[in-house]
Amino acid sequence: MKAIPVKRAFKYRFYPTDAQAAELSRTFGCVRKVYNLALAARTEAWTRQERVNYIQTSAMLTAWKKTEELAYLNEVSSVPLQQALRHLQTAFTNFFGKRARYPRFKSRKSAEYTTSAFRFRDGKLTLAKMAEPLDIVWSRPLPEGAQPSTVTVSQDAAGRWYVSLLVEDPTVQPLPAAGTAVGVDVGLDHLLTLSTGEKVANPRHERRDRTRLAKAQRQLARTAKGDGANRRKAREKVAKVYARIADRRRDHLHKLTTRLVRENQTIVIEDLTVRNMVKNSRLARAISDAAWADFRSMLEYKAHWYGREVIAVDRWFPSSKLCSACGTLRDKLPLNVRTWTCDCGTTHDRDVNAAKNLKAAGLAVSVWGAGVRPQRSSPGGQSAMKQKSPRREP
């Protein structure tokens, strides 16, 4: 069976000239304005039990450009503005399909260009309304002969400029089938515990830079509120610390997920609701730093790329309280109990035991498919399966 080409985004940092930065800043502002105006119009229509689609918002954009108040929308490329409306349409489609929350107003500095609004020749990228190509740092090569279908330009809170090129990557092919499976239990003391008994330390990236972050935040708090230069500089210092933390965290998760996908055919994880877990004020900071949701997202799309399987077991499955040797279920197991001995005489490490039980439950789902229900769509369009289990005891 011929592998379907994978579309992959390659992200690079670039350094714009003053003229390019000004043009992109104008474009970001116009994209944000159009998106938010269209969202407001669709929300108002929704309160009247009416629906507005992309075609209608596109007509609205034409009308907005003709007004004196919004005439500046004509000064930038029209393609990013139309793309913003398409993204809004996708957001509403996902909302009505119960795959996402109601769309929120846009604040991010970004703009997407399609092939009609950029030129990519001889390794040089030139955007619409610009005379010179972008000064891109090609930190890794694009696939040979690749031609971008879309280009997304963005600026983060730390003031760094990035360009993301979406291309077909023929180098991404399914890996040879492996006969191995692994259960993965996530945690805070250890980021990952595998059913093999291996434990991956939690780097605690945010804690490592907490002193530097606190100092930058104190400096920001001492500046006068407003749009002054001092406050802007202080705000950028805080953003740079956060960016440093996020970069390290992302790099670590990429290495972990790539390794798991390459070594195992089936990877079983627990279906955690991180969104609800971070409501715990005592653990929210640590859970956010562990980035369990990012770990799962990376694991799922890489498994789709390389022909692997990720199975998410129901969050109420009693993985910690169930003896992986004899199947005995304990009534209670407080969180402070890290090791326990079953009536059968087996002594368990709490996390390793949980990972072993997750693996067994996931393989049962994969082989028999009994007592399961769809969990959520994977990047490949196939639903991961979720095992029905009794609710966990408090």
Q: What are the residue numbers of the active site?
A: 185, 270, 351
The torsion region of residue 391 among left (phi > 0), alpha (psi -120 to 50) and beta comes to: beta
- DSSP class of residue 50 equals -
Q: How many CB atoms lie within 10 A of CB 28?
A: 20
Q: Does residue 317 contact residue 270 with C-beta atoms inside 8 Å?
A: yes
What does the alpha-carbon distance between residue 92 and residue 89 come to, in Å, rounded to a whole number?
5
Please, which residues have CB within 8 angstroms of residue 133's CB and are 6 or more apart in sequence?
Answer: 124, 125, 126
What does the alpha-carbon distance between residue 31 and residue 86 come to, in Å, rounded to a whole number?
12
Q: Does residue 358 contact residue 184 with C-beta atoms inside 8 Å?
A: yes
What does the alpha-carbon distance between residue 316 and residue 314 come to, in Å, rounded to a whole number?
5
Give buried/exposed letters for 187-226 (b at 16+ CB in 10 A, else e): beebbbbbbeeebbebeebbeebeeebeebeebbeeeeee
Phi, psi of 10 (to 5 degrees): -110, 120
Phi, psi of 323 (to 5 degrees): -75, 120
- CA 69 to each of CA 25, 35, 63, 72: distance values in angstroms, whole numbers, following the listed order: 19, 16, 11, 8
What does the alpha-carbon distance between residue 375 and residue 385 come to, in Å, rounded to a whole number?
5
